[in-house]
Amino acid sequence: NTLLRVNKKVELDVLDEAAKYFASKLKPKIKASNKNKRTHLSDSLKVVVKDDRVSVEFKEEAWYWYLVEHGHKKAKGKGRVKGKHFVQNTFDAEGDKIADMMAQKIIDRM
């Protein structure tokens, strides 16, 4: 029950740290494109704090991240490109560790 009454600032700090940790683990899993372009997915990761929410997002220039993550139809209509699932696989691998880390930091600050 005491975990329910956590200071909002502590909560946001812990969420921010967890998001930065997740972004740091996600970045190496994203392969850089071999195309000569200005925006690579791994360079466009950012941690956004908005009101009482914290999220790891890709910048606007990297709008195509979900095509790489989930896959898409080929441009000519024949066939399909399989998704890489780098975000889901990273979260599956690190999710428990992130939850434990957050709980421990909240307990330490109480």
Model confidence pLDDT, tens digit, residues 26-73: 999 998 877 777 788 989 999 999 988 999 999 998 898 999 999 999
Q: Is the pLDDT of residue 1 over 60?
A: no
Per the structure block, which two tokens stand in for 53?
């929410």
Which CA distances in Å does 97 have to 28, 47, 56, 91? 17, 19, 17, 10
Joined together, the tokens standing for residue 20 give 């930065």
Rounded to the nearest integer, the mean pLDDT of the chain is: 89
Q: Give me the pLDDT at residue 71, please.
A: 95
Domain chopping of the chain, boundaries: 2-108
Residue type, 102: M
Spell out a b/e string for 30-61, using b for 16 or more CB atoms within 10 Å of the CB, else e. Answer: beeeeeeeeeebbebbebeeeeeebebebeee
Identify the pLDDT of residue 3.
Answer: 56
Judge whether residue 99 has pLDDT over 80.
yes
Q: Return the pLDDT at 96.
A: 96
> How far apart, in Å, do the first and last CA atoms of the chain sit?
13
Q: What is the pTM of this model?
A: 0.85
pLDDT at site 65: 92
